[in-house]
Amino acid sequence: MQVADMGVPIILVGEERPAECTAMYWDELLEAADRAGGAGREDEDDTRVVQSDLCALPYSSGTTGVSKGVMLTHRNVVANLCSTLDGVGEEMVGQVVTLGLMPFFHIYGITGICCATLRNRGKVVVMSRFQVRDFMEALIEHEVNFAPIVPPIMLTMVKSPLMREFDLARLKLRAVMTAAAPLAPELLSEFESKFPGVQVQEAYGMTEHSCITLTHGNPALGRATAKRNSVGFVLPNLEVKFVDPDTGRSLPRNVPGELCVRSQCVMQGYHKNKEETERTVDSAGWLHTGDVGYIDDDGDVFIVDRIKELIKYKGFQVAPAELEDVLLSHPSVQDAAVFPLPDEEAGEIPAACVVMARAAGESEEEIMGSLHFVDAIPKSPSGKIMRRFLRDELLKKSGQRTNPSGKPNSRRGMLMPSCKQADRRSTIPLTRISLSALLAGATNLGK
C-alpha cells in the first residue's frame, strides 16, 4: 500500500529481496552510482538541495487509522536535530555509543537515533532486528551506553528467562530512552530494580513533527532529568499548548487536553491527502497531535493516551494505557492490551487480551468476565499496541459485526462489573478482576 501511494519506481532492500516487487540491494545501487559517475549532469544547479526540498516521506504507524505518508523537508529535520541538542550535556558530545535497533524507516530510528547521534559525533551500533541474545551481546560487546528502545523490549529485558544467561555487571549501559508507546509505572519499577544505575528516560515525539518534541532533560536549565513517568520538557524553539478537543479552548496547567505544537519541525502535510492535512494542522500552524496530556507547574509533561483510543464509558473517558498498567501489576500477567467494545448500556466497555506468564495457574475459563488469553500482543515496529486489530478480531470471533443494530451480541471477552473497587496498587486475583476494579485504578479524564 505504501509503495503504491509513493509511486516509487524502485525499492532498496537489505538482506532479503521480496519476490513480488522490483527491488535492488544497497551495494548494487552504490556500484551503479560509481559506474555512472557524473555522466549526464548538464547543469550542476539542478542538483542543489535547498531547505524546502522534500527530505523524507516516512509513514505514520497507522494504529488508529490508515497509515499516511508524512512529508518532511530538510529544514524540518535539521530544525528538530538542533532543538534536541539542548537535551545533551556537553560532557557527552562525542562519547555516546547508541544502539540502533529501531527500524530506520520509522522516524524514531532515522532521526531520533541515527541522525541525532551522528549530529553529536557519537557512534551507532546497528541491529537489523530484536532477538534477546543478539541484543544483549551487542550491548556488552560494543559497550553501548545509550539504548533508545520501546516498552515491549523493556518488558522482555525484565521478564525473559534468557536474561539469566548474561552477566549484567558487564553492561556499560548508562541510560535507556523509551518512546513511541506508554511506559507502565509497574514496568518502570521492575526495570529499575533489575538494572540499578541505568537511567530511564521517557520521551515523546511523532512523525508529523520530525520526531522528538519533548525531551527527558534540560541540562542548560539545570534540569538533568524529568519526573517519574513524565515524557520530559518542551524543547527550545517550540510552542506547545493543551486544548479542549471539543471546543479548542486552551487549558491551564495540570488539566488534561489535546497536545498541540507549533514550530519549524511541523510537517509540510500528508502525501496526496489534503483533507487529513487540514484536519491535523490548523490555519494558524498548530499541529494537533491527537494525544491527551498535561503540563504541570514545573514544566514536566505527562501523556495520558490517544484521543481516538480513549474508552467512552457512560459518558466518561478512560485511558486504555492506565487499565493496562493495572493488569501488568499482576504477577501472572506478562503483557496486556485493553481496547473498547460497543455496549448497549455503557456506550463502550473495556475488553482485554493478556499474555500469561509461564508460571501462571489461571485458565481462561476461570476468569470472571472472560479476559481473553493470547500468545502475543500485536504491536507495530515502533512498539505501539495494535488495539484496533485486537478489537476487530474479537468482534469478528464473537459475531458482533453481523448484528444489524450495531450492538454487541455477547459480553464474552469483556471486563464485566462484578466486584468492589480495588486500589490499583493491590494485587487483585485474576479471577476477580473486573471493570469496576480496573476503573478504580485509572484516572478518569472526565466527560
pLDDT on residue 77: 94
> E strand or H helix at 153, and its extent?
helix 151-159
Give strand pairing partners of 350: 340
Q: What is the pLDDT of residue 236?
A: 83
Those residues whose C-beta lies under 8 Å from the C-beta of residue 277, and which sit 6 or more positions away, are 269, 270
Instruction: List the Cα angle 268/273/277 in 5-degree steps.
Output: 50
Between 435 and 201, the higher pLDDT residue:
201
List all residues 6 or more positions away from 94 whose beta carbon is below 8 Å from its beta carbon. 120, 121, 122
What is residue 125's three-state secondary structure? strand
CA 322 to each of CA 31, 104, 290: distance values in angstroms, whole numbers, following the listed order = 52, 29, 17
What percent of the chain is modeled with pLDDT above 70? 71
Model confidence band, residue 14 (pLDDT cutoffs 50, 70, 90):
low
Q: Which of the pair, 98 or 21, is modelled with greater confidence?
A: 98
349 and 318 Cβ atoms separated by less than 8 Å: no
> pLDDT over 90 for what percent of the chain?
29
The torsion of the CA quartet 310, 311, 313, 317, rounded to 10 degrees, works out to -10
Q: So what's the pLDDT on residue 129? A: 86
Q: In this predicted model, which residue has the larger pLDDT, 277 or 383?
A: 277
Cβ–Cβ under 8 Å, residues 288 and 281 = yes
Nearest to 12 by CA among 3, 1, 23, 27: 23
pLDDT one-digit tens code per residue, 298-314? 889 998 877 777 787 76
| The pLDDT value given to residue 78 | 93
In this prediction, residue 419 carries a pLDDT of: 24
Structural domains of the chain, with CATH: 1-31 (no CATH), 57-306 (3.40.50.12780), 310-401 (3.30.300.30)
Q: pTM here?
A: 0.69
Q: What is the pLDDT of residue 102?
A: 87
**What pLDDT, in 10s, does the model give residues 238-263?**
999 999 988 999 999 999 999 999 99
- pLDDT higher than threshold 50 for residue 221: yes
Give pLDDT tens digits for 353-370: 888 887 776 665 555 454
For residue 149, pLDDT over 80 is answered with: yes
Task: Answer whether 372's CB lies under 8 Å from 351's CB.
Answer: yes
pLDDT at 67 over 80: no
Residues 6+ apart with CB under 8 A from 260: 240, 241, 242, 243, 286, 287, 288, 289
Helices 185-194 and 151-159 cross at an angle (nearest 10°) of 50
Q: What angle (nearest 5°) sits at the alpha carbon of residue 403, between those of residues 397 and 409?
A: 60
The confidence score (pLDDT) of residue 104 equals 85
Q: Are 327 and 433 in contact (CB under 8 A)?
A: yes
Of the pLDDT bands very low, low, confident and very high (cuts 50, 70, 90), residue 435 is very low
418 or 139, which is more confident = 139
Query: Which residues lie below 8 Å from residue 353, measured CB to CB, with a gap of 6+?
Result: 336, 337, 371, 372, 373, 374, 377, 390, 394
Quick one: average pLDDT of 433-445?
47
Helix (H, G, I), strand (E, B) or coil at 190: helix
Q: Which of 23, 207, 175 is nearest to 110 (CA)?
A: 207
Task: Residue 328: name the closest of 178, 150, 152 by CA.
Answer: 152
Would you say residue 123 has pLDDT above 60?
yes
Q: Which amino acid does the sequence have at 358?
A: R
Higher pLDDT: 61 or 433? It is 61
- Residue 429 pLDDT exceeds 50: no
SS3 string, 250-269, reads ECCCCCCEEEEEECCCCCCE
Q: Which residue has the higher pLDDT, 421 or 278?
A: 278
Tell me what pLDDT residue 409 has. 36
pLDDT in tens, 108-119: 888 888 888 888
The mean pLDDT of the chain is 77
Task: State the alpha helices, DSSP H only, in 252-375.
Answer: 274-280, 320-328
**Which among 251, 246, 265 has a CA at the least distance from the CA of 295?**
251
Q: How far apart are the first and last CA of the chain?
A: 37
Where residue 254 falls (left for φ over 0; alpha for ψ -120 to 50; beta otherwise) is: left
